[in-house]
Amino acid sequence: MKYVFEQAGKPRGKFGELFAMSMNLGHSKLTRWGLSYLTVNPEDFVLDVGCGGGKTVSRLAKIAREGKVWGVDYSDASVAAATRANRKSIDNGQVKILKASVSELPFPGEMFDLVTAVETCYFWPDFQENLKEIYRVLKPGGSFVIINEAYKNEKFEKRNSSIANTRKFLYYLPLEFKEYFENAGFSQIRIKTIESKNWITVIGRK
């Protein structure tokens, strides 16, 4: 079980590639729900942080048809899986997949209209500083969204704490998310939850 949770945080090797691809299916409904609270325009420049198997990148590329979508992940296995999943869009220049960490995004300031992070911020090295880095690369008026299937909730504490005891797995109360976002500079913060599933979406604007 520990090995599986470690793969979730940073997929490695051939098993890691398969694991990253499996996340495309496993996170599909969650991602669709979270993105439903956003407006993605055809000409937008979009970044997916922790792109995993690349399904969110693919989903966004179908909407931002006249713009561009980047996916970054610090896992070689995830980069390989996401590249495979988006090969056609990469070849036509609409999508780029890069190996990079949220701690140091390889982009100039004010580049993106939207940044997404699906099921990934649990594993970030410094959540507050990493939010500031995302804020840096957003255009004024741009949005950042976190979409997670775990937040601090008594009904799910046994499950969530068991994961946290196995590996680094950080999750927060809705109000804690709000404070972190505000401290990074975000405004107009919206928080949506499905309590019965322990799902949460947090959106902030620059």
Residue 165, pLDDT > 70, answer: no
pLDDT given at position 153: 84
Return the pLDDT at 169: 74
For the chain, the structural domain boundaries read: 2-205
Q: Extract the runs of DSSP E, i.e. beta strands, from 62-110.
A: 68-73, 95-99
Over residues 83-87, the mean pLDDT reads 96
Residue 203 has a pLDDT of 99
Q: What digits encode the pLDDT tens for the residues 7-45?
A: 444 444 444 444 445 555 557 899 999 999 999 999 999
198 sits in the region (left: phi over 0; alpha: psi -120 to 50; else beta) called left
- Residue 125's pLDDT is 93
Q: Cα(166)–Cα(5) distance, rounded to whole angstroms? A: 7
pLDDT at 19: 44
What is the rounded distance in angstroms from the CA atom of residue 47 to the CA atom of residue 70? 5
Pairing of strands 187-194, 199-205: antiparallel
Q: Residue 189 above 70 pLDDT?
A: yes
pLDDT in tens, 106-149: 999 999 999 999 999 999 999 999 999 999 999 999 999 999 99
Q: What is the pTM of this model?
A: 0.87
172 sits in which H/E element = none
We find that the CATH architecture of domain 2-205 is: 3-Layer(aba) Sandwich (3.40)
Residue partners of 85: CB distance under 8 A and separation at least 6? 21, 24, 53, 54, 55, 57, 58
Phi, psi of 16 (to 5 degrees): -60, -40
The per-residue pLDDT for 13 is 46
Beta strands in 50-149 (DSSP E): 68-73, 95-99, 112-118, 138-148
For residue 152 the two structure tokens come to: 């601090």
Mean pLDDT of the chain: 88
Query: What pLDDT does residue 164 have?
Result: 56
Q: Is 106 exposed, middle or buried (0-12, 13-18, 19+ CB in 10 A)?
A: exposed
The backbone torsions φ and ψ at residue 202, rounded to the nearest 5 degrees and listed phi first, read: -125, 125
Q: In this structure, what token pair is assigned to residue 72?
A: 């970054």
Give pLDDT, residue 128.
Answer: 98
| 69 against 165, higher pLDDT | 69
Q: Tell me the percentage of the chain whose pLDDT exceeds 90.
A: 76
